[in-house]
Structure 1
């Protein structure tokens, strides 16, 4: 537990202000991706069923869409950023290593690159947190 607290303190003190713009962009991207998954659930369930994923495909589709929509919204606001980012990690690992790798490593596989960059950013915000311009910071300063 002490290690987690030290990582949080380090992340809070080493968070440049320009990363808040990146956090908001990441949140909007995840939110839009979640909306696109909801609008085309047949494509998402086809992607998940191709993975030979032995859980219920419908549950996985709803988890991905729900996590992207609400997690993206929370990340964009800077509210519970670390928690919302943690919920994105299994989805993005599956997207990078199980779904998009089948299309091959090429410059033309834009979904693979998008998934890899998003995974890297989600891992970054899991460590550094939401930053100075966030709802978490506002609530911390205006709690009284």
Structure 2
């Protein structure tokens, strides 16, 4: 817990609106990706073809859409940011692995790696000073 407090103090001292804009853009991207997967479930099924024999594959399909959808909304507001990122990490790591085991699509691979790097940044950085987390913390 002390590590998280020290990271929050550092992040609040070094906060900028540009970092908040990146967090909001990441949240919107994940939300839109969740909507896209909801509307095109066949696309999501096609992505899972290389690993369809893994036990619990259908559970993974039902995990991805709500994690992107709800996680995107929470990231936009900066609420529970680290928890949302932890929920996104298995999906993003899986997206990178799927590009190597299935048909390689370089644009999807670059996008998955970029989102993974940004998520890792926010896992360390947190939600920042201009977020619901910070507002609620100050109300205590």
Confirm or deny a common fold (TM above 0.5).
Answer: yes
Query: Distance between the aligned counterparts of 1:8 and 1:45, measured in 2?
Result: 39
Matches within 5 A, 1:1-144: 1-52=1-52, 54-96=54-96, 98-101=97-100, 102-104=102-104, 109-141=106-138, 143=139
Q: Is 1:27–1:75's contact at 8 Å kept on the other side of the alignment?
A: yes
CA RMSD of aligned residues (A): 2.0
> Would you identify which runs of 4 or more consecutive aligned residues in structure 1 move more than 3 Å?
1-15
Please, which runs of 5 or more residues in structure 1 have no aligned partner? none
Q: Is 1:67–1:88's contact at 8 Å kept on the other side of the alignment?
A: yes
Query: Distance between the aligned counterparts of 2:80 and 2:91, measured in 1?
Result: 18
For this pair of structures, how many residues does the alignment match? 139
Query: How far 1:42 moved relative to its partner?
Result: 2.2
TM-score for the superposition, normalised by structure 1: 0.85
TM-score for the superposition, normalised by structure 2: 0.87
Please, which runs of 5 or more residues in structure 2 have no aligned partner? none
